[in-house]
Amino acid sequence: MIELYKTNAEVIAAGDKYLYGNHVRMPLSIERGEGAYVFDKDGNKYLDFIGGIAVNGLGHCHPAIKKCLEERANTILHCSNYFYNEPAVQTAKLIVENSCFDKVLFANSGAESNEGQIKLARKYAKDHGHPERFVVITMKNSFHGRTLATCTATGQYGVHRYFEPLPTGFRYAEFNNLDSVKAQMDEYVCAILTEPVQGEGGVRPASKEFLQGLRELCDEKGILLMFDEVQVGSGRTGKLFAHQNYGVEPDTCSMAKALGSGVPIGAVCARGEAAKTLTPGTHGSTFAGGPLACALAMTTLDVMINEGVIENSRVMGEYFREQMHAVIEKNHPKAVKEIRGLGLIDGIELNQPSGQPVVDLCFKDSKVLINNTAGNVLRFVPPLIVGKEEIDIVIKAVDDAMTKLGW
Ligand SMILES: *Cc1c(COP(=O)(O)O)cnc(C)c1O
């Protein structure tokens, strides 16, 4: 029998001894969660506005998710893609019926979903008489994952560094700058890939003109427009897909993070000709689309779509930005460059080199979990079930932290 540790400090000490040190962790071992709150082993309660990095869309221990897991324990967890399973079918049906897409291909993570899109784009070009096309244009400061192809697709040197030689076939353009994308176009390009709202890149929503311009450019050249909605899909922006806020329809779109409420799952959604490209033998995965992950995805999407969670994300996002704006304007007008977001992915860009001091004070003084991304952008990606009460607590925590820092 394993003897479990008794305190937060013991878990952290053992973690530092045994876990590979590739992640920088806060000194908090999370024992359990409830709604928008998590608890450590010592019984401390934290308000969770990181939500497992935009994964826990329904919050922790949602009753529908608990029931779904119980059912799975008594039915089946895995059966392979030699067979059909109803949760996969129902999840795909929910996505198709609530989007512009015709088909859904499952994967196990965000990176893997984007790999799927990249492979799809290359084969699409070959299928359509353009064997010379293989380049995917992506954006600077994007984030598409950590596998070799997706880290190369990621437009950040810090993500490429140490891993050369990188796979060929990626070029980078300026986000929200159509001319910069056009400057990268030539006969070798098979697709354009972008996040409609850059997440890791500092919570930067695309402009409507930019996404519309990309759509027109892709139509004109006969290449694919692919969106990465790993972070901002699954209800995060107040719509099932972020691009639904823009009225721009991509050919393919990836999902992951919140789709499975914490169990790994990803998806490539595709429409039209792009929904016919990956034929048997060209792509697949042992685990992808299994009954466990798909039952959770089906339940997650059902609750999000049919119980007002996506709508709550839209309304609470507006409340968050309004209230945060008022407090910052009043108390810290010089500390902040911009407050921006869409639904419940929100960011505060600071006039400071780093947001980490605010993150640390929110944690220590207010027991509020937020994070800092792209150097100096405070990021808020809470469960989509949060109410005004929780938002008020977070705004006060940020306000108090900035006051203490003299910002
Ligand atoms: C998190 C993220 C990924 C990578 O997802 P993993 O599940 O960590 O592989 C890719 N793209 C975006 C936009 C993300 O936010």
Cα distance between residue 66 and residue 241, in whole Å: 25
Please check whether residue 197 is in contact with residue 175, taking contact to mean a CB–CB distance below 8 angstroms: no
**390-403 confidence digits (pLDDT tens):** 999 999 999 999 99
Q: Cβ distance 266 to 109 under 8 Å? A: yes
Indicate which residue's Cα is closest to atom 15 of ligand 1.
231
What pLDDT was estimated at residue 227? Answer: 99
> Whole-model pTM?
0.98
Euclidean distance between the first and the last CA atom of the chain, given in angstroms as a whole number:
51
202/264 Cα distance (integer angstroms): 24
- Tens digit of each residue's pLDDT (9 = 90 or more) over 137-179: 999 999 999 999 999 999 999 999 999 999 999 999 999 999 9
What separation in Å is there between the alpha carbon of 51 and the centre of ligand 1?
Answer: 14
Rg (CA), the chain: 21
Tell me: cis bond preceding 165? Omega within 30 of 0 counts: yes
DSSP lists the bridge partners of residue 336 as 350
Closest atom of ligand 1 to 256 CA is 7
Ligand 1 touching residue 345 (CB < 6 A): no
78 CA to middle of ligand 1, Å?
24
Give yes or no for residue 245 CB within 6 A of ligand 1: no
Q: What is the mean pLDDT of the chain?
A: 98
With bands split at pLDDT 50, 70 and 90, how would you rate the model's confidence at 60? very high
Q: What is the pLDDT of residue 220?
A: 98
Ligand 1 binding pocket mutation candidate from 112, 231, 268 (most atoms within 8 A of CB): 231
Query: Are the CB atoms for 172 and 155 separated by under 8 Å?
Result: yes
Pocket of ligand 1 contains residue 110 by CB under 6 Å:
yes
Q: Residue holding tokens 């928008």? A: 36
Q: Is 109 in the pocket of ligand 1 (CB under 6 A)?
A: yes
Report the atom number in ligand 1 closest to the C-alpha of 266: 7
Cβ of 199 closer than 6 Å to ligand 1, yes or no, is yes
Phi, psi dihedral angles at 388 (to 5 degrees):
-60, -35
